[in-house]
Structure 1
């Protein structure tokens, strides 16, 4: 382009001398100047201004994304309360990459609305998102009613789908009386029809069903015949969803996740969900959301989910870690809690209960505690005394405790389910992006020593 401009200017000068300059030849240099001006504006000035505006408006985000949790050196056992208070909000907003290769299901609850925002920001770190919206209940008039559509947020779903590919599977809790529903064929069919119809009308990608714990509470699973009917209902619902096309892709079917609780002892009881149940449902269920949390309670204070207990649960379901069906294992989603517990450990009655990340940060700011790493459970905890001089023990997940469970799941070849992302700290999400290779060998040795996980 430059050569053409120099050639044209020399020719014009020659013609001026010769008295042969035409109107078009006189205007040609002006045209060149306009082209240069356009080039400068569009390719130099506008990009430069955009960069300045971006840096001014998003300066904090740029700084935060440049330094990962790995480089900040905060994934460790000897963490301090000051580091947590300083670093917890510095999550890298890289929502396009996920290094964890197995399925990741994240729950979102209406009562912790922060989860809705986290789901949008970190959409692509998850394969499935499950808003807790629905209950299937008994009804005097029609027998069954599906409640919860008023919770559904279509605008939020559309925004999620514009940002990533995570599937939307709302949770449905089966509150209906099982002694009625499971025994009557028409009620079973109606329950399935209500759920599948809701998925079609609301354009969901499927559902997550929670019923096993409800059935156990009703005593249904103690009866062998009722237990068989319960499993058959789950199987039929899965088959109905699998025979229904996904609203986003006619070549794929709707997906079905099923929530199961962990056994409470080293031997399986009649009401426990076991390996035979896993085998029976494996073709009808896309994922089993395993609730490996709530190990402790106010009456029995302690860690949220000890790694030895997690490992025992997986061995009861899947067998030895070095001799399992990998395709079946991949459908098991290890439950990871993003909440903690603040237990009262002095006095006569005990007490306390679940806390969110916001509650945890408030306690750190108020009491400036020393955090202790419990090797046996693989969790951090701290003690404090409240205004009445009553002693408390606080267990809440940290980067190290979560990474330990992610690595354990990776060794087993299983997925992850998170309860729930509105209760966590922002930088937890970085663990699903960074491989943190420098920690993996150390964590593997730790798991082998504590849990006897196969190498």
Structure 2
């Protein structure tokens, strides 16, 4: 009997490829219990890296566009600049750096600051350092004779916008200078003209809103010979009295609690013995009740024909001593002691020459010639020499030290200051005030 054929079917445990594939597919259809695939992890890592880079870039850009602010500028006192042994390097490096605390006053007595239309920087300085001044005097007006009439000229220089800014920025009184150029025969001798002169001044104060005026008449009267004539001199003093009394009867528009003020410009003493044209202690006493202050012009001691210091401190002391006399304490507070913010560049050669310079001229000379500054103890001023086109020059210009000495002198006497004029000096001079 033939043998039986074996069963050709493969058992279940067979390694048949088809069966294995089916098993694998069935297994893969079950839910996975493993972590995220590797590609997902890479994407997540790159995203985090991108965010970190952006954050770092933002931080860098912010820090680079917002630098650390510089330290505040200290005053010239704190910077140690007020000293006799200054140099051209110190001045060039520091003259434009001013303390940021501009409202602080080192000099507490009254300060009258002159401003001139031909030097526009003074207008800016008046606004910037308004709190340093008690009075600001723009040099605007001239009282003149025109035929038989008196006219007040200078209205074209009046800057109402500037006055408004001064009012907003501080409490300084605005007292324009009025230069009396009219013939004394018209103003002093004729009573009607005298009244017209007073009316013109008060009317302008009311219309513009001034706090008063600074009257410059003494030098004009000296030129006309008025002060050497006893009768005319008496008339001149009476004119000032009447003007002052009239102004005191009118309230200031911006400051209704105050009357209009009158400040009189007076010349310094030039010799040991008082002359007729000198303003002396008798004149001061006679006008003290009618005038609110006296602007003493203690500068221009030297000139091209006699080169030297601008205002030797010994001369300043002498002028104050003569003017205030034995009763200095009584009237010292009425004096605005004059200090100059300009200097002189004199030619030291046969024929001499030269003349006034202002701050920008002074800086230009320092930059070009790099001179050694010398301190002269007796006059308390700095000076230096330089050569130009084989000609020797001597320059006398205010410095922090020379101004500081004069401020101390004013404090010692109890006087105020009058500055001619605030657009002519160096910016850091105002730190001293």
The TM-score bracket by the shorter chain reads: 0.7 to 0.9
Q: What are structure 1's unaligned runs of at least 5 residues?
A: 1-51, 433-455
Q: What are structure 2's unaligned runs of at least 5 residues?
A: 1-62
1:349-390 CA distance string (max 9 Å, x none): 11100000000000000100000001111100000111x211
**3-state DSSP of counterpart to 1:101:** coil
Q: Does 1:353 align with 2:355?
A: yes
1:84 Cα offset (Å): 0.2
**3-state DSSP of counterpart to 2:429:** helix
* Aligned Cα root-mean-square deviation (Å): 1.7
1:209 Cα offset (Å): 0.4
Distance between the aligned counterparts of 1:159 and 1:249, measured in 2? 16
TM-score (norm 2): 0.83
Q: 1:94–1:122: 8 Å Cα contact kept in structure 2? A: no
Q: 1:169–1:206: 8 Å Cα contact kept in structure 2? A: yes
Distance between the aligned counterparts of 2:117 and 2:322, measured in 1? 34
Distance between the aligned counterparts of 1:99 and 1:69, measured in 2? 11
- 5 Å matches for 1:135-214? 135-140=142-147, 142-214=148-220
Q: Which has the higher helix share?
A: 1
1:55 Cα offset (Å): 7.8
1:378-427 CA distance string (max 9 Å, x none): 100000111x2111100000000000000000000011000000001000
Q: Does 1:325 align with 2:332?
A: no
Greater radius of gyration (CA): 2
1:81 Cα offset (Å): 0.2
Distance between the aligned counterparts of 2:346 and 2:103, measured in 1? 38
Q: 2:98–2:428: 8 Å Cα contact kept in structure 1? A: yes
* Map of 2:132 onto structure 1: 125
1:176-199 CA distance string (max 9 Å, x none): 111332111011111110000000
Distance between the aligned counterparts of 1:219 and 1:362, measured in 2? 42
Distance between the aligned counterparts of 1:383 and 1:99, measured in 2? 32
Q: 1:292–1:336: 8 Å Cα contact kept in structure 2? A: yes
Distance between the aligned counterparts of 2:167 and 2:374, measured in 1? 41
**3-state DSSP of counterpart to 1:317:** helix
**3-state DSSP of counterpart to 1:66:** coil
Distance between the aligned counterparts of 1:289 and 1:161, measured in 2? 23
* Map of 1:73 onto structure 2: 80
Distance between the aligned counterparts of 2:292 and 2:425, measured in 1? 26
Q: Does 1:98 align with 2:97?
A: no
The count of corresponding residues between Structure 1 and Structure 2 is 371
- 5 Å matches for 1:11-410? 63=71, 65-140=72-147, 142-320=148-326, 324-326=328-330, 328-347=331-350, 349-386=351-388, 388-410=389-411
1:201 Cα offset (Å): 0.3
TM-score (norm 1): 0.79
